């Protein structure tokens, strides 16, 4: 049985979050109380097995995971009672966990590439096309951003993002063409989210706003984080141009339905 912890207990799980091999920024953002999320354990007395479930739906395991704990997570993933509308995407590199879910017919496994930032390969900042303007995302602009990769997917509310997050966008004729923002924030890292509207692509706008977020992140003495779905070749190429190096990949396990 999974036991959901009180948020006052989250700080006890920082070491567990920090040790994750699929990237620590999301579990740390929850454990450190920066972003909303849930933490489950197999016991309220100890934290031998831990599940971090961020507001974005990204989920991470830590500890000595066994079959009983995975069965409970499987039930949570399927959410047969539809008690939680939040998506569930389990990130793992653990072979035991992967093999457990491979036996489940209603679960699929995909891949996610993980990158590390390198100062040795810098992106040379380019100029904006005529008629375009780079702006910091404020509350007014935040409410106008719409797409698939947006702050509301990763942050519980706009106020939380305004206080703890950061973002930049490029505007053309009062239309927000491209944006980049802190999808996850910990005391040591910032995961960068980015999107450009289809009609504004192939102009280098995404590179400009993403580079602005990298500059902000390094100014905060934090490490920029980049990850993408293995089929997202555009994101992979952009990451490499910005100075990221692909270092590993992890499985993404989720329900088919």
Q: pLDDT category, 12, cuts 50, 70, 90?
A: very high
Confidence at residue 121, expressed as pLDDT on a 0 to 100 scale: 61
Let me know whether 25 and 124 are in one domain: no
CA distance 142 to 139: 5
DSSP state of 120: T
Among the candidates 61, 92, 113, a domain finishes at: 113
Let me know whether 26 and 150 are in one domain: no
User: 234 in a domain, yes or no?
Assistant: yes
pLDDT at 81 over 80: no
Let me know whether 70 and 138 are in one domain: no
User: 256 in a domain, yes or no?
Assistant: no
User: 257 in a domain, yes or no?
Assistant: no
pLDDT at 120 over 70: no
CATH of the domain at 138: 3.40.630.30
Contact at 8 Å (CB) between 139 and 155?
no
Burial 101-114 (b: 16+ CB within 10 A, else e): beebeebeeeebbb
Q: pLDDT category, 127, cuts 50, 70, 90?
A: confident
DSSP state of 32: T
Let me know whether 90 and 211 are in one domain: no
CATH of the domain at 95: 3.40.630
Contact at 8 Å (CB) between 213 and 166?
yes
Let me know whether 109 and 121 are in one domain: no
Closest CA to 178 of 232, 129, 112, 245: 129
Q: 228-248 pLDDT, tens per residue? A: 999 999 999 999 999 999 999
Q: What's the pTM value of the predicted model, to 2 decimals?
A: 0.94
Let me know whether 35 and 64 are in one domain: yes
20: helix, coil or strand? Answer: coil
pLDDT-above-90 percentage for the chain? 88
pLDDT at 191 over 70: yes
Contact at 8 Å (CB) between 88 and 255?
yes
CA distance 102 to 2: 22
Among the candidates 57, 91, 113, a domain finishes at: 113
Confidence at residue 125, expressed as pLDDT on a 0 to 100 scale: 75
* Count of C-beta atoms within a 10 Å radius of residue 62: 24
Q: pLDDT category, 62, cuts 50, 70, 90?
A: very high
User: 214 in a domain, yes or no?
Assistant: yes
Name the one residue in this structure whose structure tokens are 């005529």.
Answer: 130
Provide the domain count of the chain.
2
Question: If you average pLDDT over residues 160-164, what whole number do you get?
Answer: 96
Among the candidates 93, 113, 133, a domain finishes at: 113
Question: If you average pLDDT over residues 9-32, what whole number do you get?
Answer: 94
pLDDT at 87 over 90: yes
User: 238 in a domain, yes or no?
Assistant: yes
Domain of residue 54, residue span: 3-113
Confidence at residue 80, expressed as pLDDT on a 0 to 100 scale: 65
Let me know whether 43 and 57 are in one domain: yes
CA distance 56 to 59: 9
Let me know whether 206 and 101 are in one domain: no
User: 91 in a domain, yes or no?
Assistant: yes
User: 127 in a domain, yes or no?
Assistant: yes
User: 254 in a domain, yes or no?
Assistant: no
Contact at 8 Å (CB) between 239 and 211?
no
Contact at 8 Å (CB) between 185 and 31?
no
Let me know whether 124 and 229 are in one domain: yes
Q: 212-221 pLDDT, tens per residue? A: 999 999 999 9
Let me know whether 40 and 106 are in one domain: yes
Let me know whether 87 and 208 are in one domain: no
Mean pLDDT of all residues belonging to the chain: 94
Q: What are the structure tokens assigned to 13, written together?
A: 């799980």
pLDDT-above-70 percentage for the chain? 98
Let me know whether 47 and 100 are in one domain: yes
Comparing 116 with 85, the larger pLDDT belongs to 116
Looking from the CA of 24 toward its CB, the CA atoms found within 13 Å total 18
Question: If phi over 0 gives left and psi between -120 and 50 gives alpha, with beta otherwise, what is residue 56?
Answer: alpha
Confidence at residue 241, expressed as pLDDT on a 0 to 100 scale: 93
């Amino acid at each position: 049985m999974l036991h959901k912890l009180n948020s006052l207990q989250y700080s006890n799980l920082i070491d567990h979050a920090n040790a994750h091999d699929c990237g620590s920024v999301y579990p740390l953002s929850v454990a450190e109380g920066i972003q909303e999320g849930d933490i489950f354990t197999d016991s309220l007395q100890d934290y031998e097995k831990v599940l971090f479930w961020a507001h974005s739906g990204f989920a991470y395991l830590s500890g000595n995971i066994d079959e009983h704990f995975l069965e409970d997570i499987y039930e949570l993933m399927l959410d047969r009672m539809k008690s939680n509308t939040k998506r569930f995407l389990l990130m793992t590199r653990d072979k035991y966990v992967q093999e457990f879910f491979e036996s489940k017919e209603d679960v699929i496994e995909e891949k996610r590439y993980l990158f590390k930032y390198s100062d040795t390969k810098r992106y040379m900042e380019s100029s904006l096309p005529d008629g375009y303007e780079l702006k910091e995302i404020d509350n007014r602009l935040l409410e106008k951003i719409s797409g698939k990769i947006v702050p509301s997917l990763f942050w519980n509310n706009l106020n939380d993002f305004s206080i703890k997050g950061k973002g930049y966008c490029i505007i053309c004729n009062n239309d927000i063409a491209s944006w980049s923002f802190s999808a996850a924030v910990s005391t040591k890292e910032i995961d960068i989210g980015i999107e450009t509207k289809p009609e504004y692509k192939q102009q280098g706008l995404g590179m400009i706003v993403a580079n602005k977020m990298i500059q902000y992140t390094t100014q905060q003495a934090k490490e920029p984080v980049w990850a993408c779905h293995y089929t997202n070749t555009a994101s992979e190429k952009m990451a490499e141009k910005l100075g990221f190096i692909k270092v590993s990949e992890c499985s993404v396990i989720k329900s088919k339905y």
